[in-house]
């Protein structure tokens, strides 16, 4: 794979790096990376990876842009409010570097979708804010032997490690099975943009080492950073023989059953409903059917936002994911989703 004159110029200040060179740059061009979660972490890491010339980026996020995202999620601006994050991100990153192929997936990450999220990539970058989808990604990466650069940040703290299947501990080896229930979130605890920029810069540098044949610095090592004290501490982690994900006593995955998952989100009265098997809705068709019963507040390539007369807002993506705002009960959110789908099937 060769580089065009434009690319040689564009990347000249990194090709000259001793750790990169022309060969390293060509390797980046051949590389494929998934960025799971396009919030505070994914925005920063995707900008770096796209600018640097990674050939293919897959962006995964279930959410739409909210005003509370804008202090830290650098790909979005005031005009992006209400649009699917992956749609705006794809546009911005393509404008930033048209040499990069950018695939956008407005999808909820769970055990059923995790394989689609990680398949055929060389590295997976964590940009998630919950543990349940991280365990699903970890499991899919272990199964398909794809390196997973874990990163997390909240308040002024963050941590990062590089998981290489069959070589290092996996996420479950060192975290066990954490539940998202009762965990602090960005809404309750806040998050400082600079910790996100720091953690993601380290994630990117680990990914670049993996992609260009270097040695990652955080294999079997967790780096813990606190921006408030400006402290960087690391400790060794080891794999557990009885780890249910990567250990010798593996538990078989449950078979996929059709259905719907509804989870409460970080944010007031918000739920995400996602079909276990993603759908392929035609947004123009869907808008035609729904405009008789709802006010369509926003329509884009990847989805549309509807408002009911009682103020409940529903952002429906082409994958069938729906962000439902303005309801306080999971049951109500489920009913709203089921009714919406029933309308579409008529
Ligand atoms: Zn493990």
Ligand 1 center to 131 CA (angstroms): 15
**Which of 82-91, 117-126, 159-168, 262-271 has the least mean pLDDT?**
262-271
| C-alpha 51 to ligand 1 mean position (Å) | 33
Residues 201 and 197: their CA atoms lie apart, in Å, by 6
Position 192 pLDDT exceeds 90:
yes
Q: Return the pLDDT at 257.
A: 57
d(CA 91, CA 303): 15
Task: Work out the pLDDT band at 153, boundaries 50, 70, 90.
Answer: very high
| Alpha-carbon torsion, ordered 3, 5, 9, 15, to 10 deg | 30
pLDDT at res. 266: 66
More confident residue, 185 or 110: 110
Q: Does the pLDDT value for residue 249 go beyond 70?
A: no
Residues belonging to the chain? 346
As a whole number of angstroms, the distance between CA 221 and CA 218 comes to 5
What is the CATH number that goes with domain 260-345? 3.30.310.10
Beta bridge mates, 159: 152, 224
CA of 173 to the centre of ligand 1 (A): 4
**What distance in angstroms lies between residue 166's CA and the mean position of ligand 1's atoms?**
9
The per-residue pLDDT for 181 is 80
Of 115-119, 146-150, 284-288, the one with minimum mean pLDDT is: 284-288
Q: Is the pLDDT of residue 175 over 90?
A: no
Separation of alpha carbons 102 and 38, rounded Å: 13
What is the enclosing helix (H) or strand (E) of 40? helix 40-52
Distance of alpha carbon 69 from alpha carbon 73, whole angstroms: 6
Tell how far the Cα of 11 is from the centroid of ligand 1, in angstroms.
37
Centre of ligand 1 to C-alpha 47, Å, is 30
pLDDT, tens digit, for every residue of 49-81?
A: 999 999 999 999 999 999 999 999 999 999 999
> Where in the chain are the domains?
31-236, 260-345
Say whether pTM exceeds 0.75. Answer: yes
Centroid of ligand 1 to alpha carbon of 164 (angstroms)? 10
Q: What are phi and psi of 201, to 5 degrees?
A: -65, -35
| Class in CATH terms, 31-236 | alpha beta
- Distance from Cα 286 to the centre of ligand 1, integer Å: 43
Same fold, 31-236 and 260-345: no
* Higher-scoring residue by pLDDT: 261, 148: 148
d(CA 150, ligand 1 centre) in Å? 13
* Average pLDDT score, the chain: 92
Residue 46 pLDDT more than 90?
Answer: yes
Would the CA dihedral through 129, 133, 135, 140 be positive or negative?
A: negative
* CA of 168 relative to ligand 1 center, distance in Å: 8
- Could you tell me the end-to-end alpha-carbon distance of the chain, in angstroms, rounded to an integer? 50
Q: How far is the CA of 138 from the centre of ligand 1 (A)?
A: 9
At 28 the pLDDT is 98
Compute the radius of gyration of the chain from its Cα atoms: 20
Q: Is the pLDDT of residue 250 over 80?
A: no
CA of 276 to the centre of ligand 1 (A): 25
Highest mean pLDDT among 7-11, 289-293, 333-337 belongs to 7-11
């Amino acid at each position: 794979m060769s580089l065009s004159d434009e690319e040689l110029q564009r990347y000249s200040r990194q090709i000259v790096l001793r750790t990169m060179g022309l060969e390293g740059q060509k390797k980046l061009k051949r590389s494929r990376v998934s960025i799971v979660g396009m919030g505070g972490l994914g925005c920063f890491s995707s900008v770096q990876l796209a600018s640097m010339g990674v050939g293919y980026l897959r962006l995964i996020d279930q959410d739409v842009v909210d005003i509370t995202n804008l202090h830290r999620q650098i790909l979005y601006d005031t005009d992006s409010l209400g649009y699917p994050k992956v749609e705006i991100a794809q546009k911005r990153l393509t404008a930033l570097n048209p040499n990069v192929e950018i695939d956008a997936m407005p999808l909820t990450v769970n055990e059923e979708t995790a394989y689609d999220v990680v398949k055929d990539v060389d590295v997976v970058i964590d940009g998630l804010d919950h543990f349940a989808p991280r365990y699903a990604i970890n499991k899919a990466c272990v199964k398909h032997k794809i390196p997973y650069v874990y990163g997390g940040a909240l308040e002024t703290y963050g941590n990062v490690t590089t998981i290489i299947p069959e070589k290092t501990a996996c996420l479950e080896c060192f975290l066990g099975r954490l539940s998202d229930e009762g965990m602090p979130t960005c809404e309750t605890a806040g998050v400082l943009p600079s910790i996100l920029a720091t953690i993601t810069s380290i994630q990117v540098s680990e990914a670049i080492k993996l992609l260009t044949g270097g040695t990652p610095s955080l294999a079997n090592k967790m780096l813990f950073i606190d921006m408030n004290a400006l402290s960087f501490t690391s400790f060794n982690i080891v794999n557990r023989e009885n780890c249910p994900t990567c250990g010798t006593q593996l538990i078989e995955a449950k078979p996929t059953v059709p259905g719907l998952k509804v989870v409460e989100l970080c944010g007031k009265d918000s739920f995400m409903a996602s079909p276990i098997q993603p759908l392929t809705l035609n947004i123009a068709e869907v808008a035609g059917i729904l405009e008789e019963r709802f006010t369509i507040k926003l329509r884009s390539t990847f989805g549309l936002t509807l408002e009911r007369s009682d103020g409940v807002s529903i952002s429906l993506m082409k994958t069938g994911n729906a962000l439902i705002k303005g309801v306080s009960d999971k049951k109500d959110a489920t009913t709203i989703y089921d009714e919406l789908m029933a309308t579409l099937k008529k």
